[in-house]
Amino acid sequence: MIAKGAAADIGYASSARLKPVELLPWVVALAVYFLAPTYLPLGAYILIICLFVLSLDLILGYGGIVTLGHSAYFGFGAYVAGVFAMRVSGDPLIGLAVAAAGAGLLGLATGAVILRTHGLALLMLTLAITSIVLEVANKWTSVTGGADGLHSVPIEPVLGLFRFDMFGKTAFLYCLVVVIACWWLVRTIVHSPFGVALAGTRENDVRMAAIGAPVYRRRLTAYTISCALAGVAGGLLTQTTQFVGLSVLGFELSGEVMVMLVLGGVRRIYGAFVGPLVYITAEDWLAKQFPEYWYLGIGLLLVVIVMFARGGILGILDKLVARVRGGRA
């Protein structure tokens, strides 16, 4: 029993069959669409950040690559989508594909060098990458708009049919469909033999290498996929807000995204949905009234999670469910 629990924690013994509860996020999203239309722009933003956090979970949770620089790929995707729409074509799907390809290539190129290192050097290199991308975006004003960013990015209707309306209906559904597709991709990867091998490289890379698994290549593949997904999230943000600015880059955003992941629960896929939902909703309500206390609360929460509740919200729920079931038996 303990062994099974531990295996599930590592991520390779959980069944690949879709459980009904796994559809809950999408039911909630549709409920928001029909019941709370005024929250659609916020909802679309939450969906986008969910995808960003999910991409981080793939490398941090499953791959064990501790990075402070994931915002580099999110921001790069956002800028690629913005520049592409301004200069080449406003078609959203092509723009998204270009953003994914751009962020994925950047991930491949940077990952190929930084994944050769470990520990502090790796942490430092990820930090350097996001700082460099931020510096370039800040200074290369002719392309990125510098500190002003890119305004009024032109976006054509999706598939030539669905215009982005001022209430954010199209934007919300567009994000929802893209995020569902990416969720399915991550879910498939995690349950695949590749996902198991990735978990192995996290648990014990020396032993994985000893049994003949190409540790470096596995990690690089996961890193590239994760960066491409982060790029998609960034592209979605540019397209739905028609704006991209420096706030999509930098170490603080990376930190915040990591907080959301840990808040929801690392290595659970759905922690990536719970975390941003709770974090951004709370931020929307609290941060405007008490900005100082908001950061104080988030900081204290983070310390408490690390000290007492490493599984995050979903980990606490799991324990409660286990206790209720144990009480019945």
Partner 1 sequence: MDAFFSSLVSIAFHGLAYGMILYAISVGLSITMGLMGFVNLAHGVFAMAGGYVMYTLMGDLGMAWLPALALACVAVAAGSIVLERLLYSRLYTAGELEQVLFTIGLIFVAVAVARIFYGNNPLAAPLPDLLKGQTELAGRSFPTYRVMVILASAALIVVLWLGLERTRWGAMVRAAVDNRAMAQSVGIDTGKLFTLTFALGSGLAALGGALGADLMAMTPTYPFEQLVYFLIVVSLGGLGTLRGPFLGALLIGIGDTACKYWVPEFGAFFIYAATMLVLLWRPQGLLGRAA
Which residues of the shown chain bind partner 1 in the complex (CB under 8 A)?
A: 60, 64, 66, 68, 113-114, 116-121, 123-125, 127-129, 131-132, 135-136, 138-139, 251-252, 255, 258-259, 262, 266, 292-296, 298-303, 305-307, 310
Burial class (CB in 10 A: 0-12, 13-18, 19+), 312: buried
Cβ 319 to partner 1 shortest distance, Å: 18
Cβ 266 to partner 1 shortest distance, Å: 8
Cβ closer to partner 1: 41 or 64? 64
Cβ 228 to partner 1 shortest distance, Å: 22
Cβ 287 to partner 1 shortest distance, Å: 11
Cβ 313 to partner 1 shortest distance, Å: 15
Cβ closer to partner 1: 125 or 269? 125
Cβ 204 to partner 1 shortest distance, Å: 13
Decide if 299 contacts 76 (C-beta within 8 A). Answer: no
CA distance 2 to 13: 13
Cβ closer to partner 1: 61 or 95? 61
Cβ closer to partner 1: 68 or 171? 68
In order, the DSSP letters of 148-183 are G-B-S---PPBTTTB---TTSHHHHHHHHHHHHHHH
CA distance 53 to 63: 14
Cβ 93 to partner 1 shortest distance, Å: 33
Cβ closer to partner 1: 180 or 309? 309
Distant-in-sequence, close-in-space partners of 52: CB < 8 Å, separation ≥ 6: 70, 74, 230, 233, 234, 257
Write down the residue that tokens 């014990």 correspond to: 204
Please compute Rg for the chain using Cα positions. Answer: 20
Cβ closer to partner 1: 156 or 283? 283
Distant-in-sequence, close-in-space partners of 212: CB < 8 Å, separation ≥ 6: none
Q: Amino acid identity, residue 256?
A: E
Cβ closer to partner 1: 114 or 182? 114
Decide if 231 contacts 77 (C-beta within 8 A). Answer: yes
